[in-house]
Structures are given as structure tokens and as C-alpha cells.
């Protein structure tokens, strides 16, 4: 093996470790995501469109979402949803609705379900990647 091949291999290998990590496992369950989709379709889809792509309201994933909420805890995002959404009736979503809607939103942002249910307390333990 030539020195060029070894150096090229080391360069590529180190680039893989330097690549940004994908969003990880979240403190929410697959059942919460499923329930979150139902709540989303009831309370959010009219403004945020199918799959949170954005329409009257902004997208719930991607650069716009991350520029607004990146670096904040999921608890902060959950509180923001409670205080501002749905736009026609802010403050009306129950804790269970907030938990499943936050879980669904985080799944749109690449987080995968885990074994722990999302709650107001577990939401404090995770920060949305920038």
C-alpha cells in the first residue's frame, strides 16, 4: 500500500468522525409519535401542512425551525407550543397533548423513539441540535 493511499484513508476516516451527528434517540416512545400525529392532524396541520412542511405557519423541521429553536431544551419548545399554539386558542393544550405533539415534532427533526416517555421533566434533559 502506498503512502498516498494510507494518507487518503486517514483523511477520509477523520472526515467521517468530524461529520455532524444525526439526531439521536429521544426521550419519547413510538406510541407518543403515533398519538402526536393524530393530535397534529387535529390542531396543527391546517397551518403547518402535512409532515410539518409549513404553509400558513412555518415548517416544523429543517433550517428555519432549527434557527428558531436550535440549542433550546425540548421543555422550552414544549412551553412555547403551550403558550402560543394553536394560534386560535393558545394555552388550551393538555400536558398529554403537549407531550405527544413535542414527540411528533422531534421525530420530524430526525430523533428516533426510545423506551422513555416524553414528559415535562424528561423534556428538560434534551436540547434540539443547532
Residue-wise pLDDT for 89-104, tens only, equals 999 999 999 999 999 9
Domain boundaries, the chain: 24-125
Q: Check: CATH 1.10.760.10 for 24-125?
A: yes
The gap between the terminal CA atoms of the chain, to the nearest Å, is 40
Q: Output the pLDDT for position 23.
A: 64
Of 90, 86, 116, 124, the closest CA to residue 26 belongs to 116
Given the C-alpha cell 400536558, which residue does it identify? 95
Low pLDDT (below 50) residues in the chain: 3-22
Per the structure block, which three cell numbers stand in for 24?
439521536
Q: Output the pLDDT for position 10.
A: 35
Q: Output the pLDDT for position 1.
A: 52
pTM over 0.85: no
Per the structure block, which three cell numbers stand in for 130?
443547532
Amino acid at each position: 500500500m502506498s503512502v498516498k493511499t494510507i494518507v487518503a484513508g486517514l483523511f477520509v476516516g477523520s472526515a467521517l468522525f468530524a461529520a455532524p451527528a444525526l439526531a439521536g434517540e429521544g426521550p419519547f416512545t413510538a406510541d407518543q409519535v403515533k398519538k402526536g400525529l393524530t393530535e397534529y392532524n387535529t390542531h396543527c396541520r391546517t397551518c403547518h401542512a402535512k409532515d410539518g412542511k409549513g404553509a400558513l405557519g412555518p415548517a416544523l423541521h429543517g433550517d428555519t425551525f432549527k434557527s428558531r429553536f436550535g440549542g433550546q431544551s425540548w421543555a422550552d419548545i414544549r412551553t412555547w407550543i403551550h403558550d402560543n399554539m394553536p394560534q386560535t386558542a393558545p394555552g388550551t393544550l393538555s400536558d398529554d397533548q403537549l407531550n405527544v405533539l413535542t414527540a411528533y415534532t422531534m421525530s420530524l427533526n430526525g430523533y428516533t423513539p426510545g423506551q422513555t416517555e416524553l414528559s415535562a421533566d424528561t423534556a428538560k434533559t434534551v436540547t434540539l441540535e443547532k
